[in-house]
């Protein structure tokens, strides 16, 4: 019975987020299109991806002039001249890149679902400082704390539970990306996952647009966007520093 339930959970997660034709795959495709809308010259830009992987850029429907991927654990490998993986801590990105001898003349810093994993307010502040220092433009996406389903475990309201309860759920919940090997590992995973809200994102990136990705009318993810010397919204001139975008019902 346990094997049957595990198989059903795996198939459910595949339909929701993992398979090429899943809900999540459609969301990711829409996000690339939104990125292109804010940065229509993306093919000409030198991009620094904080927290991503080389493989994600190989699969991406956009191809910048050059991409440097900085990841603490597994940036991946690349023989392509336009794609450079570097192992290092994004919270100390300038130091890591200098140590690797990487040219830091970037046009755009891109980060997808990293901000919530760096380890608390001080680390998030440090990451935001690196983003602003390394390029005049940025795109920093993070899941929205107040969406009713926690996106990493696909568990309703998990982010609002006490820490001990979250770790117990993480240890057994079948829709998680991977099952932790021990209760200690489950505790570590939930401690390293701290979703943020709009006020926090505004504080980390003052003057940037806060773009909302929506599902069924609810904000699912938020993105700090600076598209030029001043925040630019391709959909509404003079709309201010916050705009609701991408209200596509097919995005989880």
Residues 71-123 pLDDT 10s: 999 999 999 999 999 999 999 999 999 999 999 999 999 999 999 999 999 99
For the cut 70, the answer to whether the pLDDT of residue 203 exceeds it is yes
For the cut 50, the answer to whether the pLDDT of residue 230 exceeds it is no
For the cut 60, the answer to whether the pLDDT of residue 240 exceeds it is no
pLDDT class of 26 with cuts at 50, 70, 90: confident
Q: What is the pLDDT of residue 160?
A: 97
Residues 188-198 pLDDT 10s: 999 999 999 99
| Mean pLDDT (whole number) for 162-189 | 94
Q: What is the pLDDT of residue 179?
A: 87
Q: What angle do CA 144, 147, 151 make, to 5 degrees?
A: 75
Range in 40-54, 155-169, 201-215, 232-246 with the lowest mean pLDDT: 232-246
| Mean pLDDT (whole number) for 132-160 | 97
Catalogue all structural domains in the chain, each as residue range(s) with its CATH number.
Answer: 2-152+193-244 (3.40.50.150), 154-191 (no CATH)
Residues 209-222 pLDDT 10s: 999 999 999 999 99
| Mean pLDDT (whole number) for 133-155 | 97
| Mean pLDDT (whole number) for 58-75 | 96
Mean of pLDDT over the chain: 87
Q: What is the pLDDT of residue 18?
A: 54
Predicted TM-score (pTM) above 0.95: no
For the cut 90, the answer to whether the pLDDT of residue 249 exceeds it is no
Q: What is the pLDDT of residue 29?
A: 84
| Mean pLDDT (whole number) for 216-244 | 67
Q: What is the pLDDT of residue 239?
A: 35
Q: What is the pLDDT of residue 136?
A: 97
Q: What is the pLDDT of residue 237?
A: 36
For the cut 50, the answer to whether the pLDDT of residue 125 exceeds it is yes
């Amino acid at each position: 019975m346990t094997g049957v339930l595990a198989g059903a959970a795996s198939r459910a997660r595949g339909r929701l987020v993992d398979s090429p034709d899943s809900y999540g795959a459609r969301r990711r495709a829409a996000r690339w299109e939104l990125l292109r809308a804010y940065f229509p010259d993306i093919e000409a830009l030198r991009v620094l991806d904080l927290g991503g992987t080389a493989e994600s850029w190989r699969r991406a429907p956009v191809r910048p002039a050059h991409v440097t991927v900085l990841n603490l654990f597994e940036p991946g490998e690349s023989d392509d001249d336009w794609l450079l993986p570097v192992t290092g801590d994004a919270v100390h990105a300038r130091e890591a890149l200098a140590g690797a001898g990487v040219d830091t003349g970037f046009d755009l810093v891109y980060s997808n679902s990293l901000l919530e994993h760096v380890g608390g307010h001080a680390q998030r502040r440090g990451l935001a400082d690196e983003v602003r220092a390394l390029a005049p433009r940025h795109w920093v996406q993070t899941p929205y704390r107040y969406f009713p389903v926690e996106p990493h475990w696909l568990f309703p309201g998990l982010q609002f539970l006490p820490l001990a309860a979250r770790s117990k759920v993480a240890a057994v919940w079948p829709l998680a990306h991977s099952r932790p090997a021990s209760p200690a590992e489950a505790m570590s995973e939930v401690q390293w996952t701290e979703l943020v809200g709009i006020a926090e994102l505004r504080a980390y990136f003052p003057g940037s647009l806060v773009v909302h990705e929506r599902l069924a009318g609810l904000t699912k993810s938020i993105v700090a966007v600076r598209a030029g010397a001043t925040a630019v919204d391709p959909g509404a001139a003079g709309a201010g520093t916050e705009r609701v975008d991408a209200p596509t019902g097919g995005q989880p």
